[in-house]
Amino acid sequence: NRYQIVPRSQVKGQIFLTCMPSRLLPIRAPSLAKPTALRFAKHMASNTGKKLIQIDVSSDTVCPWCFVGKKNLEKAMEQTMDKFDFEVRWHPFFLNPDAPKEGVKKSDFYKTKFGPVQFERATARMREMFRGLGFEYDMSGLTGNTMDSHRLITLAGHQGYDKQNALLDELFVSYFCQGKYIGDRQVLMDAARKVGIEGAEELLLDPSKGVDEVKEELNKYSSGISGVPHFVINGKYQLSGGQPPNIFMRAFETAAKDAAE
């Protein structure tokens, strides 16, 4: 079986590099959740009587597999909403922390990074994956530094995880499907306005605001990994890459069974 769900207590290995497709590999990382949060997830039943599944996701806003993983995760959640309540929280990761703030042409950047042949293969594969999700993959526009997007995502998390998840959708679609630059202040403010994020303009006008918190989140949730997307379920079970919905569903069942014991 290519896929397996790995408890954090069994983690001893290394993981792959960069943005990745459907794979599951162990990582070396500290515990992501406080003991009180773990007890909450283990023993609490919501008002509906369903088990609570908490999901921490490390991602970067220029990682197409993070978008694929998000959509597959949402499909799995939709198919199991009769049994579980979900809380999904997004945390920063930087695929290219030294990327320029002003941005560079997306296609040129990836051709240089992967070579023309691999670039064409990867682009064709992503177009196929996105079409399967009902979207068109667009390689036009710029790519670059993602710090401002992570500052905005972290701010959104303080205003509710539903808002944070909605903001991720806006940012992913803008960047991957509309050719908009993820480092463009106006693009970020437009996404924040659509979702109803308060204080976005004030945050983005001050380049230092929220940076320390992003770094703290990075250290707490993403320092032990070297690729995204990365999912931690109920602080214990880990999945990496753009997993299909059935793998997420199996992970939910495993986490819920463990919480009941």
Range of the structural domain that residue 97 is part of: 51-259
Bridge partners of 45, per DSSP, are 51
**Residue 65 resides in a domain:** yes
For helices 161-177 and 185-195, give the axis angle rounded to 10 degrees.
Answer: 140
**Residue 10 resides in a domain:** no
For helices 245-260 and 64-79, give the axis angle rounded to 10 degrees.
Answer: 60
Q: What span, in angstroms and rounded, lies between the C-alpha atoms of 232 and 247?
A: 13
Domain total for the chain? 1
Q: What's the sign of the alpha-carbon dihedral 171, 112, 229, 211?
A: negative
Q: 94: domain CATH number? A: 3.40.30.10
**Residue 239 resides in a domain:** yes
The per-residue pLDDT string of the chain (261 residues; one tens digit each, 9 = 90 and over) reads 334 455 544 443 322 334 555 444 333 333 444 444 444 444 444 466 789 999 999 999 999 999 999 999 999 999 999 999 999 999 999 999 999 999 999 999 999 999 999 999 999 999 999 999 999 999 999 999 999 999 999 999 999 999 999 999 999 999 999 999 999 999 999 999 999 999 999 999 999 999 999 999 999 999 889 889 999 999 999 999 999 999 999 999 999 988 776
**Residue 246 resides in a domain:** yes
**Residue 3 resides in a domain:** no
